Amino acid sequence: MTRLVRRAIRMCERTPSAGPWVFEDQGRRYQVVEVIDTWAESGAWWAGEADRRMWRVLASEGAVLDLEQSGDDWFVYRVWD
């Protein structure tokens, strides 16, 4: 089961490949333990939305999250239970 949340996060450190590494979400600091998958999604170009890069990660404390990168902005897009 998943929850769609799409809330802004602060990316603290990134790997050389520009993927997520350490981030803060709601005052908690997480470290990415494993990148499970990555993919690109097209934004609604007719509405001026940019393409975005998605990262499914296993973060510290066992959290599985989908992170969204849109330009320089990062979001927790989905939380997996």
> What are the residue boundaries of the structural domains of the chain, listed by start?
2-80
Count CA atoms closer than 13 A to 30's CA, side-chain side.
23
Count CA atoms closer than 13 A to 56's CA, side-chain side.
8
The per-residue pLDDT for 18 is 65
Residues of the chain where predicted confidence (pLDDT) is lower than 50: none
DSSP 8-state class, residue 49: P
| Number of other CB atoms surrounding residue 5 within 10 Å | 14
The per-residue pLDDT for 17 is 67
The per-residue pLDDT for 38 is 93
